[in-house]
Amino acid sequence: MKVGEYLDFIKSQVGNYYWFGTFGQKASKQLYNEKKAQYPKYYTASDFDDQIANPKPCYDCAGLVKSPFIYPKYNAADDLGATGIYGKCTVKGPLSNPKQLKPGYLIFKGNDKTKTHVGVWDGSKIIEAKGHAYGVITSELNNTWKYFAEYYNVDYTAEVRPEPDTLPYCEHVLEVATLTDPLMLREGPGISFPVLYRMIKGTKVYWQGEKSGDWLKVKYRNIWGWAHKDYLKIC
Domain positions in the chain: 3-149, 173-234
Architecture of the domain defined by 3-149 = Alpha-Beta Complex (3.90)
Q: Say what the alpha-carbon torsion angle 207, 213, 214, 217 is, to the nearest 10 degrees.
A: -20
Whether the pLDDT of residue 161 is over 60: the answer is: no
pLDDT band for position 107 (50/70/90)? very high
Element (H, E) at 129: strand 126-131
Distance CA 145, CA 217 (A): 37
pLDDT band for position 118 (50/70/90)? very high
Predicted TM-score of the model (pTM): 0.69
Residue 201's pLDDT is 84
> What average pLDDT does the segment 196-224 reach?
86
Architecture of the domain defined by 173-234 = Roll (2.30)
DSSP secondary-structure letter at 158? S
- For 11-53, how does the pLDDT look when each residue is reduced to its tens digit (9 = 90+)? 999 999 999 999 999 999 999 999 999 999 999 999 999 999 9
pLDDT band for position 210 (50/70/90)? confident
No. of H helices and E strands in the chain? 5, 16
Residue 80's pLDDT is 98
- For residue 12, the one-letter residue type is S
Using an 8 Å Cβ cutoff, are 78 and 153 in contact?
yes
Element (H, E) at 32: helix 29-38
Distance CA 25, CA 31 (A): 8
- For residue 171, the one-letter residue type is E
Phi, psi (degrees; rounded to nearest 5) at 5: -65, -40
Spacing of C-alpha 128 from chain mean position = 7
Distance CA 210, CA 131 (A): 36
The answer for 24, left when phi > 0, alpha when psi is -120 to 50, beta otherwise, is left
Alpha-carbon Rg for the chain in angstroms: 19
Residue 23's pLDDT is 98
Mean pLDDT of all residues in the chain? Answer: 90
Comparing 117 with 4, which gets the higher pLDDT? 117
Distance CA 205, CA 152 (A): 33
Distance CA 114, CA 223 (A): 35
Residue 167's pLDDT is 40
Who contacts 75 (Cβ-Cβ below 8 Å, separation ≥6)? 69
Using an 8 Å Cβ cutoff, are 104 and 6 in contact?
yes
Residue 69's pLDDT is 97
Residue 169's pLDDT is 40
Q: What angle do CA 83, 85, 89 make, to 5 degrees?
A: 115
